[in-house]
């Protein structure tokens, strides 16, 4: 008789993915509110860029420490703790009127956001079979993009109707409700209780009978030693102490596949992040001349495109392991081509070209998920949280630098406020992306070749 497949892994994943979607809403809550934020706080373009820039600095800086903590205290605790930080950040954002406290709010949001994605990614190998991970990873990104869709237009509409304070307090309330749900549902792995069960000291029947879709029961995944290599000896998570993460980072980065994963993540998502986190609405309204409603519709198109790509790229990454990096590189080249066409077009770009840009550019987000599949093929299990945090810094480091540079270039041209925005100024400002693409593409090609050579020399196969 055929054994029924357990449902709990999907419930755990669905709840964790919902927390990730809310984190994306929090992260992108200023994406369609840039001009409103400038009016609310009375700030110029460089100061506006400071909000997401500081948020992303905090996010990137905490990736490695959070990865270490995940390996030590568990993904569930970090996931819920990060959600609480974002709730506090949005409460502060709703109730303050000066720039300094608003920046503090974005620090809290960035710190909470830093705990979310890599915690969700750390949960997946404990609950799903190896062959399922590429698809589930892309589905996670897809649900996150649903959060992006909410932040693009509905949140802006809600804030315009209910006001700044009510809008952000409503967002904080949603975050708190999902956090409570997570405390009742999410488990680090089969056999380990929920956060609520651990607090109460009682383990329910569902937890005791939990099974992974990968066929691993209870706590076996923690006690299994990872494969030893010449570069990384067998280590258990409990041996990770203090600031030893610098030594771990050095050893991890000696593996070409880890460096390849880093540059894949560096190159793919930053154009979409920059556009959706801050500069998309100002460009479409102040540069192209669209109405705010039309700009919101255009931004929604980017999210829909990204969601569709997530559905397609998961099966592709799972089936074509040897070609997944080249798939990523092809998408990056498509993004560069679309942006260059917009930047050099004489006069205002036609609508069809803008649509092409807004369909192609967001493919970089789902494509960046390939970096974690590459990483999983080259990283011992006990380093998973740490390595994921290390690689996840890449795209967000590029994003925060480009966000800041665009603001600086706009101010340098005297076009740093909504009334001074112009298409020519935005063209110069968005051109700062080009050196980042060139660097990333060159490093992907170099590290792909080094990775292939290393795998042949060490008789390794992709998994």
Q: Which residues pair with 211 in a beta bridge?
A: 217
Lowest mean pLDDT among 51-55, 112-116, 280-284, 408-412: 51-55
Alpha-carbon distance 173 to 171, whole Å? 5
CB 428 within 8 A of CB 413: yes
Look at residue 67 and tell me if it is in a domain.
yes
**pTM exceeds 0.85, yes or no:** no
CB 192 within 8 A of CB 221: no
Token code pair at residue 246: 């610098």
Look at residue 393 and tell me if it is in a domain.
yes
What's the whole-number average pLDDT of the chain? Answer: 81
Alpha-carbon distance 235 to 248, whole Å? 11
Look at residue 421 and tell me if it is in a domain.
yes
Q: What percent of the chain has pLDDT over 70?
A: 85
pLDDT for the residue numbered 459: 59
Contacts of 340 (CB under 8 A, 6+ apart): 434
Q: Please say if the pLDDT value at position 393 is more than 90.
A: no
pLDDT for the residue numbered 139: 84
pLDDT for the residue numbered 38: 75
CA atoms within 13 A on the CB side of 297: 8
Domain assignment of residue 273, given as a range: 8-219+244-457
Dihedrals φ, ψ of 430, to 5°?
A: -70, -15
Contacts of 87 (CB under 8 A, 6+ apart): 112, 172, 175, 176, 179
Q: What is the pLDDT of residues 358-374, one digit of tens each?
A: 999 988 888 888 888 88
* H or E segment to which residue 43 belongs: none
Give me the CATH number covering residue 24: 1.20.1250.20
Q: What is the pLDDT of residues 40-72, one digit of tens each?
A: 787 776 777 778 778 878 887 887 788 778 878
DSSP state of 12: H
Q: Does residue 211 sit in helix, strand or coil?
A: strand
Alpha-carbon distance 389 to 27, whole Å? 17
Of 103 and 2, the one with more pLDDT: 103
pLDDT for the residue numbered 265: 92
Look at residue 149 and tell me if it is in a domain.
yes
Look at residue 225 and tell me if it is in a domain.
no
Look at residue 53 and tell me if it is in a domain.
yes
Q: Please say if the pLDDT value at position 217 is more than 80.
A: no
Alpha-carbon distance 387 to 381, whole Å? 10
Contacts of 240 (CB under 8 A, 6+ apart): 68, 71, 72, 248, 386
Q: What is the pLDDT of residues 325-359, one digit of tens each?
A: 888 899 999 999 999 999 999 989 999 999 999 99
pLDDT band, residue 146 (cuts 50/70/90): confident
Q: What percent of the chain has pLDDT over 90?
A: 26
Alpha-carbon distance 187 to 99, whole Å? 39
| Total of domains in the chain | 1
Q: How many residues does the chain have?
A: 463
Look at residue 406 and tell me if it is in a domain.
yes
pLDDT for the residue numbered 219: 38
Q: Which residues pair with 217 in a beta bridge?
A: 211
Look at residue 224 and tell me if it is in a domain.
no
């Amino acid at each position: 008789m055929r054994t029924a497949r357990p449902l709990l892994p999907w419930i755990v994943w669905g709840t964790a993915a919902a927390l990730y979607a809310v984190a994306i809403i929090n992260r992108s809550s200023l994406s369609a509110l840039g001009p409103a934020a400038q009016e609310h706080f009375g700030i110029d373009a460089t100061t506006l860029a400071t909000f997401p820039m500081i948020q992303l600095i905090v996010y990137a800086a905490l990736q490695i420490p959070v990865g270490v903590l995940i390996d030590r205290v568990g993904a569930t605790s970090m996931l819920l703790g990060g959600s609480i930080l974002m709730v506090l950040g949005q409460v502060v954002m709703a109730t303050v009127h000066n720039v300094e406290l608003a920046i503090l709010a974005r620090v809290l949001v960035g710190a909470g956001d830093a705990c979310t994605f890599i915690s969700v990614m750390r949960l997946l190998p404990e609950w799903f079979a190896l062959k399922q991970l590429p698809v589930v990873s892309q589905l996670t990104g897809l649900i996150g993009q649903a959060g992006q869709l909410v932040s693009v237009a509905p949140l802006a509409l809600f804030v315009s109707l209910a006001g700044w304070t009510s809008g952000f307090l409503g967002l904080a309330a949603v975050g708190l409700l999902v956090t409570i749900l997570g405390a009742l549902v999410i488990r680090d792995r089969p056999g380990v209780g929920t956060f609520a069960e651990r607090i109460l000291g009682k383990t329910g029947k569902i937890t005791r009978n939990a099974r992974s879709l990968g066929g691993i029961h209870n706590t076996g995944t923690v006690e299994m030693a990872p494969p030893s290599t010449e570069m990384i000896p067998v280590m258990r998570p409990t041996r990770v102490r203090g600031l030893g993460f610098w030594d771990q980072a050095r050893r991890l980065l000696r593996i070409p596949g880890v460096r390849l994963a880093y540059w894949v993540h560096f190159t793919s998502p930053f154009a979409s992040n920059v556009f959706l986190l801050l500069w998309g609405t100002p460009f479409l309204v102040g540069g192209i001349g669209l109405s705010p409603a039309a700009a919101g519709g255009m931004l929604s198109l980017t999210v829909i495109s990204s969601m569709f790509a997530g559905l397609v790229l998961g099966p592709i990454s799972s089936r074509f392991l040897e070609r997944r990096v080249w798939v990523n590189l092809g998408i990056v080249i498509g993004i560069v081509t679309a942006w260059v066409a917009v930047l050099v077009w004489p006069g205002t770009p036609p609508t069809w070209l803008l649509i092409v840009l807004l369909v192609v550019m967001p493919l970089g987000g789902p494509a960046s998920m390939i970096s974690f599949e590459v990483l999983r093929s080259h990283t011992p299990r006990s380093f998973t949280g740490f390595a994921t945090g290390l690689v996840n810094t890449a795209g967000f480091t590029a994003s925060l630098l480009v966000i800041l540079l665009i603001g600086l270039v706009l101010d340098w041209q005297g076009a740093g406020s909504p009334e001074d925005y112009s298409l020519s100024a935005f063209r110069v400002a968005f051109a700062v992306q080009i050196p980042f693409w060139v660097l990333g593409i060159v490093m992907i090609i170099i590290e792909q070749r080094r990775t292939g050579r290393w795998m042949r020399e060490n008789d390794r196969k992709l998994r």
